[in-house]
Amino acid sequence: MTEFHRPIATAVLAVALVASACRDNRSTDSVEWSGTVDTLAGVIVVSNPARPLWRGADSWRLEEELSIGVIEGDPDYQFAGIADIEIDAAATIYVLDNRERRVAIYDSAGVFVTAFGREGEGPGEFESPFKLLWKADTLVVWDGRLLRLSYFDTGGTLLRDERAELPMFNRFAMRPDGQVWAQQGPSYWWPIRPGVDGVGHLVAMDLQQQSADTLLTWEDQAMVPVRFENGLTVVPRQYAPRVNWASDAAGRLAVARGDTYEIEIYAAAGERIATVRRDYTRLPPSSAERDSAHARMEERAADYGPNADRVRKAFEIAELKRATGELVVSDDGYVWVQTSTQDDLSTQTWDIFDPDWRYVSQIELPRRLTIHRITEDHLYGELEDEFEVPYVKRYAIHRPAG
């Protein structure tokens, strides 16, 4: 993936950029970007209007061009639980199945090539693998139970195993300097641990020195802990803001807290270099969304037996939906930001910002699609059907001409 780029302008100014001189003759009212770029206390501030540069017939769109997976049949095309998906320069697809404890390899046409890994604690074996990432041309598998990074060549041959003490973290991203960005928490404890319970941290970890420097700390707004006599569970506070982040190959970060439409951009060294905003008014959950949330909670509460009433009582629906959700940075530096709309039950909506952080398009994706990787021309993800059967999907990204 490429790094974030500096904006076109860094001085205090208002800009109106012509979108393209090579536009075709289709009818559209999106002809120029009407946002502003400022510099405040050394931080670039890009303020975007509510509407994207490209819209209507000129909006970006996706076209499905590959699906891998079957309900019944060849086991090499069946997935029990997709944890991660990666690709290499040849568009070879690597699918980490954490339930099967293996990585399946498919060529660019979706034809099965081979698989590696099995359950166990020995070399090249996995107990709880859930992350794939690249370190140069080496594929790395993270096993959270074994606290181990396993390095493989592109054909699946084990090169080495490394133990890595990355305790209590939800996710991480490898940096080119050998460090990783890692999120620790928010986690909950029984009994409660004041100052630790419900607190999230985003840290830079040195795997060699086994040290960490904290970049961000926040208190969780999206979960409510419910403690029983001998344990606890957490109940989601539906639609409440939560912190999301994404990293590019250069180690830069995009961070969104969800309570406002604001994306913080950090350099690999940790200093804040930009703030990206979009005009946005947070929306209340619709009646259908509230009914759906209550129905899901009722199903969950029934599993807690005598503690069901405690779970029901703790359940909350936020008055306003979060402004931003998940983030993904494409290989060519575009920042994709999930956002809330009037109805988020049938589809999910993503805003797309170009490498200069201008709001260029909005796109709708299937509700059950999880994005794993976006290249310049393709989106790779996991899509569950109505029977919760997972498939690997590749979509071609069509951008407006010009």
Residues 246, 256: Cα–Cα separation, whole Å: 9
Residue 40 has pLDDT above 80, yes or no: yes
Q: pLDDT confidence of 103, banded at 50, 70, 90?
A: very high
Q: What is the CATH number of the domain that holds 230?
A: 2.120.10.30
pLDDT of residue 166: 64
* Residue type at position 152: F
Residue 165 has pLDDT above 80, yes or no: no
List, for residues 360-402, the tens digit of each pLDDT value: 999 999 999 999 999 999 999 999 998 899 999 999 999 987 5
Residues 397, 363: Cα–Cα separation, whole Å: 10
Return the residue matching tokens 């205090």.
12
Residues 394, 86: Cα–Cα separation, whole Å: 11
Residue 2 lies in a domain: no
SS3 81: coil
Residues 8, 35: Cα–Cα separation, whole Å: 12
Residue 1 lies in a domain: no
pLDDT of residue 167: 61
Q: Return mean pLDDT, the chain.
A: 89
- The better pLDDT of the pair 26, 32 is held by 32
Residue 305 lies in a domain: yes
pLDDT of residue 402: 59
pLDDT of residue 343: 87
pLDDT of residue 31: 58
- Cβ(311)–Cβ(226) below 8 Å: yes
The pair phi, psi for residue 296, each rounded to 5°, is: -65, -40
For residue 109, give its domain range. Answer: 13-398
Residue 29 has pLDDT above 60, yes or no: no
Query: Rounded to two decimals, what is the model's pTM?
Result: 0.90
SS3 360: strand
- The number of folded domains in the chain is 1
- Cβ(166)–Cβ(182) below 8 Å: yes
**Range name among 20-29, 234-243, 251-260, 323-332 with the lowest pLDDT average:** 20-29
Residue 5 lies in a domain: no
List, for residues 46-61, the tens digit of each pLDDT value: 999 999 999 888 899 9
- Cβ(65)–Cβ(396) below 8 Å: yes
Residues 266, 273: Cα–Cα separation, whole Å: 6
Residue 27 has pLDDT above 50, yes or no: no
Beta strands in 239-323 (DSSP E): 244-247, 253-256, 262-266, 272-278, 316-317
CA distances from 357 to 47, 274, 293, 325, 346 (A): 9, 9, 34, 17, 28
Residue 8 lies in a domain: no
Residue 7 lies in a domain: no
SS3 220: coil
- Cβ(126)–Cβ(111) below 8 Å: no
Number of helical H runs and strand E runs in the chain: 2, 32
List, for residues 50-90, the tens digit of each pLDDT value: 999 998 888 999 999 999 999 999 999 999 999 999 999 99
List, for residues 252-296, the tens digit of each pLDDT value: 999 999 999 999 999 998 999 999 999 999 999 999 999 999 999
Residue 181 lies in a domain: yes
Residue 271 lies in a domain: yes
Cβ neighbours for 272, distance < 8 A, ≥ 6 positions apart: 43, 264, 265, 266
